[in-house]
């Protein structure tokens, strides 16, 4: 079951086409990466998903029904450019934002207390937002995003501006929510984070969907049949037309398998030639490499 | 539109402002300011002022030997000096208890023989501390009167004759009759009614002008703050931009009504209490100044004004005032909101765009001032119907009871334009709050109106 389905979504701003026939599905209870360089159209897509704007063409389904304004209460959105009322007190602000998402005053209050306890920040209630440090504000922002227990959580660069301790804190919360069955769209251009936590991604470039699928599938599709062989003793440089040598440094060979050759065949060849092997693994491209290659 | 969410926005917009220190301070300090002002005025009226004792040395002989005619007032006491010469008195000023010496030198022109051709009088005043403007004016007018009487006397005219002949503009009883009205009651337009109407109209006009400028600006600033702090993106992922804008109008408008409500009760009440406190002293002062007691005609005028004040149809006036007040506020607030949404992070750039909205309000105010003078002029009729001006100008005219069709036409146009402006602003607002980094031109604003959701 998909929490979200986009079919041929188009969004134009005057002459410019910001989203160009984009289709992808966001699976339920997974962490989904919405990737793309700056200005690719990520924010335009997010605004359509959050029902802030409407698509000019195409359709969006939320849990199998056409997306409408009423779904807003089931979505939590943390924009990249964070924003809170600077002069408003933390407690008041969270209460207001939670009630706007449809929570009753009583529910909102008890949930705020829970979060304050969890992050041990109860004494911030009466502080104004402008009195908090940037990291503290991020925590408040995060609470505001998730307080209404959304079914779909959209996080735009959630770790930017966070120190490692707080980044871990937020990451653990995100993983916990995924376990609780919340679907998460994670928008970023930081690829190492994507590899850590995303299971599926879509890559947007120039308003178009250029890459879509699970992280492992995409890596398989983009692999270059490179293998790393760790060995002891003398080097063997004859690969019997099975592979090409890329490099040989510090007891590590990097070789590229030729078309149609299985890795076992190469391994057997190496063993047969008495190379003392202590390691053999395939080198898969990092998402970062795939990202750069695809975007270029 | 979900009403409970609109209610939430209104509540938040309202409470966040009403709880602000600046709001509490201005709301409390304004009546206190009025109070202090009243107290100061009362004190000035009741407290005995510092009288200056002025010695007169008249070398010219123009004032004659009779000094009793030079009346003192609460600022200046004249003392006709015959014993000392000028130089002598100048050195003994403080010893003799004088604050200054007024010296009238004898010259070619300034002597009794040439009294009839005397055009101006040169006098010198010697003192360590110079006189205030009021005391000086008093001395000048006393001397002028004295010379004038002397000149008239020489021409053979006595002041008693003059008094007999005198007639002032207020003695001309002006009795306007309105031809346009059919019912007899409206035909009786007393002259004091015009004054009272002018006052009432002016107050209402000023209040509406004040509200539009102050609270319109508040709406604009609030929109800009939400845009620049980016909170707006979070809010509109919960509610429609239009709901947010509307909630803001109502919330901020309610703040204005609260403030005026508090002032409307506290300012008259405080001033009334202060007047009660001072009333005994005021009566004392009046009995000490017999020459300034109200004449019977003045009393009659006061009574007439009071009567006229009660004779207005307040139900009608307040009803229309509130409608024009609210419609005018909404109309301009929506313009301010659109401008606020169109501005970028650069506050300075916004100033020039604000002028687009502020200029019509200021124009309306100045037209209003002219219209109060002549409520049925063609300018008045036009401006009280034209929707950008009518919220300010029509309340100024309404006390003069303009034809009902004009009020209705004005209201219809105003309310229709309110809808139009709120709609247009809603479109601009919706697009503008999500646009960053670009300088906004008027052309772009027009384009935003047609951007699809």
Q: Give the residue numbers spanning the domain of B363.
A: 192-262+309-449
Q: Do B237 and A99 touch (CB under 8 A)?
A: no
Same-domain check for residues B119 and B225? no
**Average pLDDT of the residues in B79-92:** 80
Distance from CA of A88 to the nearest CA of B (A): 7
Same-domain check for residues B138 and B244? no
Query: Is residue B291's pLDDT more than 50?
Result: no
Task: Spell out which residues of chain A touch residue B22, defining contact as CB-CB under 8 Å.
Answer: none
pLDDT tens-digit series, residues A7-36:
999 998 877 888 999 999 999 999 999 998
CB pairs under 8 A between A and B: 63
What is the model's pLDDT at position A59? 93
What is the model's pLDDT at position A145? 92
Same-domain check for residues B60 and B196? no
Strands B124-127 and B100-104, how do they pair? antiparallel
CATH of the domain at B138: 3.40.190.10
Same-domain check for residues B202 and B341? yes
Distance from CA of A15 to the nearest CA of B (A): 11
Report if residue B200 sits inside a domain.
yes
pLDDT tens-digit series, residues B280-289:
665 655 554 4
Residues B167 and B379: their CA atoms lie apart, in Å, by: 35
Q: Do B452 and A54 touch (CB under 8 A)?
A: yes
- Mean pLDDT taken over chain B: 81
Report if residue B206 sits inside a domain.
yes
The backbone torsions φ and ψ at residue A11, rounded to the nearest 5 degrees and listed phi first, read -140, 125
Q: Do A79 and B434 touch (CB under 8 A)?
A: no
**Average pLDDT of the residues in B229-235:** 88
Report if residue B272 sits inside a domain.
no
Same-domain check for residues B241 and B327? yes
Same-domain check for residues B226 and B135? no
Collect the ranges in chain A with pLDDT lower than 70: none
Per-residue burial over B220-241, b if 16 or more Cβ lie within 10 Å, else e, is bebbbebbbbbbbbbbbbbbbb
Q: Which residue of A has its CA nearest to B242?
A: A52
DSSP-assigned states of every residue in A184-225:
EEEEES-HHHHHHH-SEEEEEETTEEEEEEEHHHHHHHT---
B390, B413 in Cβ contact below 8 A? Answer: yes
Residues B162 and A221: their CA atoms lie apart, in Å, by: 116
What is the model's pLDDT at position A223? 86
Report if residue B278 sits inside a domain.
no
Q: Which of B160, B182, B210 is the last residue of a domain?
A: B160
Q: CA nearest B434: which of B419, B453, B420, B416?
A: B453
Same-domain check for residues B136 and B221? no
A227, A257 in Cβ contact below 8 A? Answer: yes
Residues B166 and B178: their CA atoms lie apart, in Å, by: 31
Q: Which residue has the tokens 């009567």?
A: B307
Neighbour tally for A113: CB within 10 Å: 13
pLDDT tens-digit series, residues B115-168:
878 888 888 888 887 777 778 888 888 888 888 888 888 888 877 888 888 888
Task: Spell out which residues of chain B touch residue A87, defining contact as CB-CB under 8 Å.
Answer: 16
Report if residue B92 sits inside a domain.
yes
What is the model's pLDDT at position A58? 92
Query: At how many degrees (to 10) do helices B191-228 and B390-398 cross?
Result: 160
Of B225, B237, B447, nearest to A52 by CB-CB distance is B237
Report if residue B29 sits inside a domain.
no
Query: Is residue B290's pLDDT more than 90?
Result: no
**Average pLDDT of the residues in B185-200:** 66
Report if residue B333 sits inside a domain.
yes
A51, A126 in Cβ contact below 8 A? Answer: no
What is the model's pLDDT at position B347? 62
Of B237, B434, B447, nearest to A72 by CB-CB distance is B237
DSSP-derived letter for residue A128 is: B
What is the model's pLDDT at position B361? 92
Report if residue B370 sits inside a domain.
yes
Distance from CA of A113 to the nearest CA of B (A): 20
Task: Spell out which residues of chain B touch residue A108, defining contact as CB-CB under 8 Å.
Answer: none
Chain A contact present for B124, CB below 8 A = no
Chain B contact present for A82, CB below 8 A = yes
Same-domain check for residues B125 and B65? yes
Q: Which structure tokens are listed for B276?
A: 């009660």
Distance from CA of B335 to the nearest CA of A (A): 23
Same-domain check for residues B109 and B216? no
Q: Do B5 and A100 touch (CB under 8 A)?
A: yes
Q: Do B452 and A56 touch (CB under 8 A)?
A: yes
Torsion, Cα B386 B390 B396 B399, to 10 degrees, reads 90
Same-domain check for residues B314 and B390? yes
Residues in contact with A80: Cβ distance below 8 Å, sequence separation at least 6, in sequence order: A43, A156, A157, A160, A187
**Average pLDDT of the residues in B333-357:** 80
pLDDT tens-digit series, residues B428-449:
898 888 877 666 677 777 777 7
> For B23-62, where are the E strands, in sequence order?
52-58
Residues B258 and A226: their CA atoms lie apart, in Å, by: 74
Q: Which structure tokens are listed for A115?
A: 């979060």
Query: Is residue B81's pLDDT more than 80?
Result: no
- B positions 213-242 inside 8 Å of A (CB): 225-226, 229-240
Whether the complex's predicted ipTM is more than 0.85 is answered with: no
What is the model's pLDDT at position B184? 43
- Beta bridge pairs of residue A248: A253
Q: Do B8 and A96 touch (CB under 8 A)?
A: yes
What is the model's pLDDT at position B190? 59
What is the model's pLDDT at position B66? 58
Q: Do A100 and B9 touch (CB under 8 A)?
A: yes
Q: Which structure tokens are listed for B364?
A: 């309306």
**Average pLDDT of the residues in B34-51:** 74
Q: Which residue of A has its CA nearest to B240?
A: A52
Same-domain check for residues B215 and B109? no
Q: Which residue has the tokens 């592979």?
A: A243
Q: Do B16 and A88 touch (CB under 8 A)?
A: yes
Per-residue burial over A95-105, b if 16 or more Cβ lie within 10 Å, else e, is bbbbbbbbbee
Neighbour tally for B168: CB within 10 Å: 6
Q: Give the 3-state secondary structure of residue B2.
A: coil
Q: Give the 3-state secondary structure of residue A154.
A: strand
Task: Give how many domains chain B has, as a whole number.
Answer: 2
Residues B329 and A145: their CA atoms lie apart, in Å, by: 35
Q: Which residue of A has its CA nearest to B10?
A: A96
Of B230, B232, B235, nearest to A82 by CB-CB distance is B230
Same-domain check for residues B229 and B361? yes
What is the model's pLDDT at position B187? 44
Which is it for the CA torsion B382, B384, B389, B390, positive or negative? negative
Q: Which structure tokens are listed for A250?
A: 């510090």
């Amino acid at each position: 079951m998909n929490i979200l389905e986009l079919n041929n979504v188009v969004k134009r701003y005057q002459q410019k086409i910001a989203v160009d026939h984009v289709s992808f599905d966001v699976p339920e209870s997974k962490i989904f990466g919405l990737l793309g360089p700056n200005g690719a159209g990520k924010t335009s897509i997010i605004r359509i998903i959050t029902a802030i704007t409407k698509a000019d063409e195409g359709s969006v389904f939320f849990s199998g029904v056409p997306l409408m304004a009423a779904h807003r209460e089931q979505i939590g959105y943390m924009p990249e450019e964070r924003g809170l009322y600077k002069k408003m007190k933390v407690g008041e602000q969270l209460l207001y934002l939670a009630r706007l998402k449809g929570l009753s005053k009583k529910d909102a209050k008890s949930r705020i207390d829970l979060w304050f306890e969890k992050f041990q920040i109860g004494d911030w209630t009466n502080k104004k937002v402008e009195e908090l440090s940037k990291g503290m504000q991020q925590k408040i922002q995060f609470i505001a995003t998730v307080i209404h227990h959304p079914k779909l959580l959209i996080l735009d660069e959630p770790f930017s501006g966070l120190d490692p301790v707080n980044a871990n804190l937020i990451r653990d919360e995100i993983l916990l929510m995924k376990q609780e069955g919340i679907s998460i769209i994670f928008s970023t251009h930081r690829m190492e984070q994507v590899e850590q936590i995303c299971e599926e991604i879509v890559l947007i470039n120039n308003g178009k969907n250029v890459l879509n699928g699970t992280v492992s599938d995409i890596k398989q599709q983009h692999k270059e049949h490179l293998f790393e062989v760790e060995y002891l003793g003398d080097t063997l440089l004859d690969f019997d037309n099975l592979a090409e040598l890329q490099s040989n440094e510090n007891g590590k060979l990097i070789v590229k398998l030729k078309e149609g050759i299985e890795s076992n065949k190469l391994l057997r060849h190496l063993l047969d030639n008495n190379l003392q092997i202590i390691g053999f693994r395939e080198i898969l491209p990092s998402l970062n490499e795939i990202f750069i290659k695809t975007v270029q | 539109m979900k009403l409970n969410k609109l209610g939430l926005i209104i509540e938040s917009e309202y409470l966040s402002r009403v709880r602000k220190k600046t709001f509490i301070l201005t709301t409390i300090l304004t009546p206190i300011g009025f109070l202090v002002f009243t107290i100061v005025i009362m004190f000035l009226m009741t407290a005995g002022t510092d009288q200056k004792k002025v010695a007169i040395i008249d070398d010219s002989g123009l004032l004659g030997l009779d000094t009793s005619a030079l009346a003192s007032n609460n600022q200046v006491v004249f003392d006709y000096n015959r014993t000392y010469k000028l130089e002598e008195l100048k050195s003994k000023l403080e010893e003799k208890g004088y604050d200054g010496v007024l010296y009238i030198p004898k010259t070619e022109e300034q002597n009794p023989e040439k009294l009839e051709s005397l055009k101006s009088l040169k006098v010198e005043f010697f003192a360590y501390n110079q006189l205030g403007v009021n005391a000086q004016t008093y001395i000048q007018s006393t001397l002028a009167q004295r010379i004038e009487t002397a000149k008239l006397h020489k021409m053979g005219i006595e002041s008693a004759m003059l008094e007999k002949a005198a007639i002032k503009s207020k003695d001309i009883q002006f009795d306007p009759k309105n031809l346009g009205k059919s019912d007899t009651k409206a035909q009786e337009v007393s002259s004091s009614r015009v004054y009272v109407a002018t006052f009432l109209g002016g107050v209402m006009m000023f209040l509406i002008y004040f509200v539009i400028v102050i609270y319109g600006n508040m709406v604009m600033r609030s929109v800009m703050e939400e845009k620049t702090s980016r909170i707006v993106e979070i809010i509109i992922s919960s509610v429609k931009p239009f709901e947010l804008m509307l909630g803001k109008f109502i919330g901020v408008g309610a703040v204005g009504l609260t403030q005026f409500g508090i002032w409307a009760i506290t300012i008259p009440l405080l001033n009334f209490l202060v007047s009660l406190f001072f009333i005994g002293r005021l009566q004392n002062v009046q009995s000490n100044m017999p020459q300034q007691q109200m004449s019977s005609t003045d009393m009659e005028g006061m009574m007439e004004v009071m009567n006229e004040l009660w004779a207005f149809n307040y139900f009608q006036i307040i009803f229309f005032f509130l409608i024009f007040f609210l419609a005018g506020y909404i109309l301009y607030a929506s313009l301010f909101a659109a401008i606020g949404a169109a501005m970028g992070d650069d506050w300075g750039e916004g100033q020039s765009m604000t002028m687009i909205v502020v200029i019509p309000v200021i124009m309306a105010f100045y037209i209003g001032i002219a219209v109060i003078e002549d409520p049925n002029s063609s300018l008045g009729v036009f401006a009280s119907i034209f929707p950008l001006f009518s919220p300010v100008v029509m309340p100024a005219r309404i006390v003069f009871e303009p034809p009902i069709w004009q009020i209705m036409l004005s209201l219809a146009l105003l309310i229709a334009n309110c809808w139009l402006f709120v709609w247009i602003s809603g479109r601009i607002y919706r697009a503008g709050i999500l646009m960053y980094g670009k300088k906004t031109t008027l052309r772009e604003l027009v384009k935003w109106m047609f951007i699809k959701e």
